[in-house]
Structure 1
């Protein structure tokens, strides 16, 4: 469905062509239209007066320039507000009325991406008993379809199944939300919000005040705003990670024992990273080992790793230096970290897991080793990012201090 914010009181997006007569190019016809391409209808070959042609051309170009100027005048203040803002969570929620005024429509929703659940969720929506709207990234809703394809929708009547099938044979309007919020979706302009070629969210504008389809000018305005709103969602993502980092640091410092950290806090820490697995080790100086504990049902198993070059986590404990590796089975990459480093593949053989990338940080209090934090298999991308490294360093320092204080 169409999800929206409170009703009015009284980029790389690509548009799927609504009919065969207006094919879209790679950027979507509504966003890349060249005014000169429309001049043939005015300066037809049958026209005998060149002066009339020139006047027609001048008039058309003048109208285009005026529309472009009005569009920029309306979007520029909003873009400046987003770029200069500090708290994206507050700004995005407060943009609702301004966006409705820019697009002259009844409702606007900004969706962010939940990559883990393959859903989009509203960031500026609030209604009675509904704090958030979530939609699967699929053809079962307009915004979900745009999130899945990156294409722009400009729909005249969202209840017209024939019109929806022009865009995709399985495209549907999720009417459940109309029923739940007592709203009737009609026209819809839905665009992807990219940033650095990465989809960050979706902008959905519903029910143009004219009662008709959103015009080309509104599509151009959406194009102007899409990258800025995508940037805003990037900043929001960073803000949310920083907030989770603070919460996790607090939880670590609140733990009463090392066992509580090893058994209860590993999964919450894992949620901070785009990683499949995490292992947190404490140091056993007597046996020159690092160890961790894993709960399996009611049973608690202990994992012990020698502090040596025979394993990656053991080598990080030995050298007290972090490691970010893209392929643990690449001996040349391992040797670049330490000439004697080997990957212990015994756990892969036992579990059936295929380890590839790893980010491993020593837990240091001053020069003293307190343990090791090991992240395994970056979910998106070949290796862990600079951002992952920064966050891992923060958590590693927090864990080291917590272990030191136990």
Structure 2
């Protein structure tokens, strides 16, 4: 039998069990999984070393190696994320709203699992655990398809998860991984309508676009992050410096890192020399428009492609704009509706930015790097949704549920 069809059938069966599981039982299983991850740290790191060695041999750049790399602290952080998910309120069974209609029927809207969730993702092994535990907590079975670059790490993590679930009395097939990492198998997963209820891609713009163009399964679009920071004429420049250095250089390979810096012309001459020096000290390559080049002559000239690129690397494009309206226009044209920030002390300017910028997360005087389920208090996240239907922004437990109506009557019939 075809591998994906077999996994789909097993996931459907497991989902039926998970949907009926009690919160206390699920939380105990997650707590045990966190303990198991720590106990198996050496096994996980040994697998990760194989992936890192292969990636280095293939010439993968440093920023992407950082996405792939695990160490004892990162495994400990992953385990802590599992514990935090266990501690979160279980949305399954929650009645969001209840009312009576004219026929005296009591109608309630209740959260239920989605069913079977497919996840296609790249590079970051922590996604394997994040996705598995969020789906498990919300009563969903999951089929994971990671990238070839993290093959050994993902297999090791899923092995630990499945063994732990079995020990806790749950079906191991609640979490499965597709071991064939070929493009053909990924495309087959995208069309597994009979078994998948929803597909969530996490990764590069290229991956997400491929899923959107190919999938016949319903898709939640996530991830692509061409994020901007706008420095207004009324900004505190010391604050602005800290925000942009953090947004770009703290971890440039992630989707909430800034890719473009927009600066109001009123502060450009004072701000550009110092911020470019700070960025270069962090090994960031700067590309600037003509106005930037007249102020700091040795920047690399920016071209049209720079404004629309998610570098995921130590590269930042800088543009000088005439007003907040020009900044908003640029962001809405080139942005990917992920995360955008303004630095300003002007309340009215900040409100215009908040209201007119079209993105899942819009910040005033803070780094875009906070767009994250953990930082928002959701525990781990399944991804950052950049679409507008069903879910938008960091996707935590509530976003992995659907609803059904439950109706209580006393013999009513419709006239």
State whether TM-score is above 0.5.
Answer: no
Q: Provide TM-score, normalisation by structure 2.
A: 0.31
Q: Provide TM-score, normalisation by structure 1.
A: 0.31
